[in-house]
Structure 1
Amino acid sequence: MQIPKNVLANADDFGYSSSVNKAILLCYERGIINSTSLMTNTEGFYDAVEKIHSNSAITNIGVHVDLAELRPITNIDPFFLNETGGWNISVTGSLMRYFSSAQKDALYKEIVAQVNRAIDQKIFITHIDSHLHLHTLPAFIGIFSQVAKEYRLKLRLAQTYRQGSFTKYLYRYIINQKLIRKELNYSDRFETIEYFLSKYPNSNIARKTELMLHPDLDANGNLVDHYDSNTMIRWLDFLGQPYTS
């Protein structure tokens, strides 16, 4: 089975490692994904760049901005960093965190630098999103929207279905409506594989829906999702695809 019409099956974390890069290329070649988001502050970045330029199957590429795990590429305020020089997720990932104008400017410059690193490698970028979805937090949504508008890129929505807290759902609905009004949205909906498959084919198919995967290869060369193993299993089963490479 092919990926359904109006579905963007996006592979996050392209560039994260050699095995992730191999898995994502394999997924493109087998029609398991049709979109990806590239990390540019990783050891595997240039390997991913080489794969992009040498494989026409890799299309619809975005930047997966990392403000959560690895190291920044600008000389940013140590306030944002942990003791090893990587991002301090307790600072950048805090739901209630707000930043000063100077701090927002520094974060803007880091996001722009990560986007430009891909552009400098002559990669055509269509969208941006973020590692661990930090772009949907109150402190970041405005900065990411600004970058998306300036670079004429689309921006991933927050999760569009209700799961648990109504307050969280309402917040996500409000920011998504703002993105849609500004015509920055990459899709009409953003869902997990599990949620999408629980509704398919009775809903979602008429609207452009983004689904997220994290492809990787295990020690035996089998395709896995390094974030949630059930995600890859269910998606491959849906498409009628084998797990092995």
Structure 2
Amino acid sequence: MGFPVNVLANADDFGYSASVNKAVLFCFENGYINSATLLTNTPGFDEAVQMVRDNQCVKNIGIHVNLAEGRPLTNLGDAFLNADGCFNLQKTGKASSFFTKAEKQALATEISAQINKGLSQGIAINHIDSHYHLHTLPGLFNLFLHTAGQFNLKMRLAQTYREGSYLKFWYRRYINSRVTARKLNYTDRFESVGHFLLQGRFNVGVESTEVMLHPDFDTAGNLTDHFEAETMVNWLNYLKQLPNN
């Protein structure tokens, strides 16, 4: 099974758990995806790395930088953590958050540590994105852009279509222009599967598009998207419609 060469179907959350890893590998083997981003501070990390090493079909691997859940890899300090020492999304994920110089340095160190952990495994890493899209937030965007440049890694764009708010749309256009100006963009567009299908992007075009999935197996053993089950159903139906599938 295949899809247009200018489409990158990325599996987020690779390394999250055993069931997610199994589903991501299954999707690679069956041609449902051609890219994935790896969590480095979650229980399934080591297994995911081994899957990359053992399976040539698992390719286009990036780092899914996680400042939203689980424990940090560095001594980040209490400002971003809950009482259990895990990331507090209410502190890291506020769109309006701006951080002190010391806090920015601590966050930059953590972002770099997560990337370095992936690189240290001897697997090719070529792009980054983030859990819950935190890299697009005003308080974090510059840290991610600078770090992507330091490591010479491509970076996921913010959504390239308008979703309800013109203010968000123009903000996203602005930060995307900064990514593309530095030639760090992973693709030319980033869309949800639903929007991609709504636009009828069924043919090879000039621009490249990244779509995002979250493969997993449900309790009945069925392939699903653990963020929105309908996404996987719609994606597989789309693939079945393509020539030679």
TM-score scaled by length of structure 1: 0.96
Structure 2 CA distance, aligned partners of 1:55 and 1:202? 28
CA distance in 1, matches of 2:176, 2:59: 25
- Gapped regions of structure 1 (runs ≥ 5): none
Go from structure 1 to structure 2 and tell me whether the alpha carbon gap of 1:204 and 1:170 turns closer, same or farther (over 3 Å shift).
farther
CA–CA distance in 1 between the matches of 2:202 and 2:147?
36
Supply the distance in 2 between the matched residues of 1:151 and 1:172 (Cα, whole angstroms): 23
* Amino acid in the other structure paired with 1:95: A
Residue 7 (1) aligns with residue 38 (2): no
Correspondences of 1:1-245 after superposition (within 5 Å) = 2-201=2-201, 205-240=205-240
Shift of 1:5: 2.0
Residue pair 1:160, 1:191 contacting (<8 A) in 2 also: yes
Deviation for aligned residue 1:203: 8.0
Q: Aligned to 1:128, what secondary structure does the other structure show?
A: strand
Q: Could you tell me how far apart the structure 2 residues matched to 1:73 and 1:64 are?
A: 14
Question: How far 1:206 moved relative to its partner?
Answer: 2.6
1:35: Cα distance to partner?
Answer: 0.2
Identity of aligned residues (%): 51
Deviation at 1:113, TM superposition (A): 0.5
Amino acid at match of 1:231: T
Mapped contact 2:4–2:204 kept (Cα < 8 A): no
Q: Is the 8 A contact 2:4 2:202 kept in 1?
A: no
Displacement of 1:225: 0.1
How far apart in 2 are the matches of 1:234 and 1:181?
33
TM-score normalised to the size of structure 2? 0.96
Q: Distance in 2 between matches of 1:118 and 1:149?
A: 17
Residue 183 to residue 135, structure 1, CA distance change in 2 (3 Å): same
Shift of 1:56: 0.8
What secondary structure sits across from 1:224 in the alignment?
strand
Counterpart CA distance in 2 for 1:26 and 1:144 is 30
The 8 Å contact of residues 160 and 190 in structure 2, kept in 1 or not, is answered as yes
Change in 2 beyond 3 A, CA 1:51/1:128? same
Whole-angstrom CA distance in 2 between matches of 1:70 and 1:190: 26
Aligned with 1:111: secondary structure?
A: helix
- Deviation, 1:107, is 0.4
Root-mean-square deviation (CA, aligned residues, Å) is: 1.3
State the aligned residue count.
241
CA deviation string 1:112-154 (max 9, x = no partner) = 1000111111111000000000000011111111111011100
Kindly state the Cα deviation for residue 77 of structure 1 after the two structures are TM-superposed: 1.2
Deviations 1:62-89 (A, max 9, x none): 0000001111010111110012111111
Q: Structure 1, residues 16-68: CA drift from partner, whole Å, max 9, x if none?
A: 00000000000000000000000000011001011111111100000000001
Letter in 2 for 1:219: T
